[in-house]
Amino acid sequence: VPEAGACPDLVFRLDGASLAVFVDVPGHPADATRDLEAGYRLEDAGWDVVRFPTDADWDAITGHQAAYFHLR
């Protein structure tokens, strides 16, 4: 996403919204820090951002973002 200087793991451009997804992997703390900062830039640019940190509860994260993951 050049306008925010970010390279999310997944990008979705939807009707009325743009979503960036970052998935952290173990053993790469510098990448996680870089992605966190990129996520803030994306949010400032009007994007929605979902982060899956290492050891995160994916069910909880997707539950909070049910509109994107089509969950109830």
Residue 47 lies in a domain: yes
pLDDT tens column, 12-69: 998 888 999 999 988 888 888 999 999 999 999 999 999 999 888 999 998 888 888 7
Residue 7 lies in a domain: yes
Residue 63 lies in a domain: no
* Number of domains comprising the chain: 1
Residue 58 lies in a domain: no
Contact at 8 Å (CB) between 49 and 6? no
Residue 43 lies in a domain: yes
- At 72 the pLDDT is 46
Task: Quote the pTM value.
Answer: 0.85
Stronger pLDDT, 71 or 10, i.e. the higher one = 10
CA–CA separation, 27 vs 19, rounded Å?
25
- Domain that includes residue 7, residue range: 2-52
Contact at 8 Å (CB) between 5 and 41? yes
Residue 36 lies in a domain: yes
Closest CA to 65 of 10, 37, 52, 54: 52
- At 14 the pLDDT is 82
Q: What is the DSSP letter of 4?
A: G
